[in-house]
Structure 1
Amino acid sequence: MVFDLEIFSPVQQIRHPLFDEKGLKVFVKRDDMIHPVISGNKWRKLKYLLAEANKGGENHLVTFGGAYSNHLLATSAAAATFGFKSTGFVRGEDIHNDSLMLCRMHGMELIFVDRESYRNKPALFDKHFGNDDNAFYIDEGGASEAAARGCSELMDELPQIFDHIFCACGTGTTAAGILNGIITHQLTTILHAVPVLKNGGFIGDEIRNYAIDPNANFELHLDYHFGGYAKTTPQLISFVKDFVAQTGILIEPVYTGKMFYALFDQVRKNMFKPGSSLLAIHTGGIMGLFGMRDKFNK
């Protein structure tokens, strides 16, 4: 079976007075347009994992995520699309929300586990599916060399060479894939990785773990987590609202909002030479807005 989607992921320029003032051209790679549910980096990360499972004769995808996990939802949709069974371990108490409803609609069985047990994902997998030869383990967020390989293909689709590329990071897999693409194409492009969680320095190690050249250079911006994973501030919410209203590009405050905030802040601080070209990777994740209604309705 060929695991592929018709990728429609254009690159479009973002117009903003700040960029004109600084003499910069800023673009966004619209990976959010790949698929309504399996969008952004989610499909790129799952593509070769599905192929691995199929090759090994394993037709049951087992993975992990929080109650609003875009990865869980994307995996459930991919499983339904390509004929797999799916199970998701959900961190925390048994709750009902829109994201999990959509997971169930796509046929995913959900198993809620306490946060302490969730820390040892291989043990959870072995406990529930250790004797199931059809079960295929997918780490949280799809983190794997196969996922990095899928993300590296993004670089093959770009219409031009960019001086700088910005990417939000949760596990570092997408950034590693982009870095591998930069290395493979022998580009001088600088990768800017923006961890969306507190104390995200370990993301640098994760990127190097999946990089084909662990000594390759990239920049890690650790000051844009806004309190931690899925944490926000009024400042960040205001930025996201303004960005969407000014560009018509829908983003959310968990991943893409923090990445774009970092990009704008670095531009304001004159970190780029006039005439430079910047590319922001829209990694999807729009379903994350489901858990933010109260913050955006104020």
Structure 2
Amino acid sequence: MFLKNKNSSIQEVSFSEIEGKKVQLFIKREDKLHHFISGNKYRKLKYNLEEAKRLKHHTLITFGGAYSNHIAAAAAAGFEFGFKVIGVIRGDELANKLDEVLVHNPTLKFASEHNMQFEFVSRSDYREKTSSAFIQKLKNKYGNFYLVPEGGTNELAVKGCEEILTEEDSIYNVVCSAIGTGGTISGLINSLKPHQKVLGFPALKGDFLQNEIKKYVLTSKNWSLNTDYSFGGYGKISEELILFINKFKQETGIPLDPVYTGKMVFGIVDLIKKDYFPERTKLLAIHTGGLQGIDGMNSILKKKKLPIIA
């Protein structure tokens, strides 16, 4: 087995903005599972790596943007466990100045240092990444490979994410998760106890995630999405969110990333302040990692003359 079965620690949150509220907030520190393959990426890659080995593949191909947590994690996993990894990266203009990109983009720099080979494609071509013609072109160029989808989400990824919750976690009433491609929340939904519910916080705008999640779950009765805290969509951020992330880390010692967990915790805290949850509710927020993205976001924030994430 490449990635071992692990259960992460749980930390109760004491935060000034919700002091006196009669609910309890806990965070499951999935970000501590592995130094580089952290959080939900650990869970999503676990069974995919096993399947790649079972099928006797030596090359993995996967997809992502230039600051993708998944790209960094896939590179680290391939490096650690002996797979050649090809990263299909959105943005063919990056290939023309790769040396400069690797200086200023910490995600791609990390992936390159862990032997990931890049295939830069245009944004229009990237939108066709799941088409048979696009996949065939990759096969013609790279030979046989095991394909890991963008964000890592497939049935095997959901299976891995079903292992996030354990029997001990049945004491919590509401489980909260940030959402990118929908794999993590699908696994959580499938492993819930009857008395529990999942509340998801999408990082992207739009209602398409409902249908993505329904591909992998058996019920629609014990989960819901709150789209009020995307801050304008994927990768968008505000000074208010930055200041919140820094304050939360200062008071709790828990770092949050600006794309996923920062927005989720901001939303949870805001809902607690608005008395959205009944008294005595025990909330468990899943920390899905993604902390590698902080350096990349900070480089963008500096250019915009905004505060950076501490």
TM-score by length of 1: 0.93
8 A contact 1:58–1:133 mirrored in 2: no
| Equivalent in the alignment of 2:148 | 138
Aligned-residue offset at 1:159: 4.5
Q: How far off is 1:268 after superposition?
A: 1.1
Matching residue within 189, 193, 203 for 2:200 = 193
Number of residue-to-residue matches in the alignment: 292
Distance 1:265 1:297, change over 3 A: closer
For 1:114 and 1:255, the matched residues in 2 are separated by: 25
Partner of 1:98: 106
Q: Report how far residue 47 of structure 1 moved.
A: 0.6
- Structure 1 Cα separation of the partners of residues 297 and 141 of structure 2: 39
Instruction: Give the aligned partner of residue 36 of structure 2.
Output: 37
| Structure 2 residue 46 is matched with structure 1 residue 58 | no
Report if aligned partners of 2:78, 2:84 keep a CA contact under 8 Å in 1: yes
- Residue 111 of structure 1 corresponds to 119
In 2: Cα distance, 1:90 partner to 1:151 partner:
25
> Is 2:179 the counterpart of 1:180?
no
Q: Percent same amino acid among aligned pairs?
A: 40
Report what 1:231 is aligned to: 236
Q: What CA deviation, in whole Å up to 9, does each residue of 1:166-224 have, x standing for no partner?
A: 10000111000000011xxx33111001100122x11111111111x143331110111
Deviation at 1:18, TM superposition (A): 4.2
1:84 matched to which residue of 2?
83
Q: CA deviation at 1:131?
A: 7.0
Matched, 1:164 2:184: no
More divergent stretch after superposition (277-286 vs 239-248): 239-248
Question: Which residue number corresponds to residue 28 of structure 1?
Answer: 27
TM-score relative to the length of structure 2: 0.90
Partner of 2:87: helix, strand, or coil? strand
Q: Among 204, 213, 221, which residue is 1:207 paired with? A: 213
C-alpha offsets along residues 76-134 of structure 1, whole Å, 9 cap, x if unaligned? 11111111110001111313311111101111001111110000113433212247553
Are the equivalent residues in 1 in contact too, given 2:57–2:146 (CA < 8 A)? yes
Q: Alpha carbons of 1:157 and 1:43: their partners in 2 closer, same or farther (altered >3 Å)?
A: farther
Report if the CA contact (8 A) 1:163-1:189 is conserved.
yes
> Which residue does the alignment assign to 2:46?
47
SS of 2:20's equivalent in the other structure is helix
> Match of 1:266, as an amino acid?
L
Q: Distance in 2 between matches of 1:135 and 1:158?
A: 39
Distance in 1 (alpha carbons) for counterparts of 2:111 and 2:273: 40
Provide the rounded CA distance (Å) in 2 between the counterparts of 1:160 and 1:18: 26
Matched, 1:126 2:136: yes
The CA deviation at 1:20 is 3.9
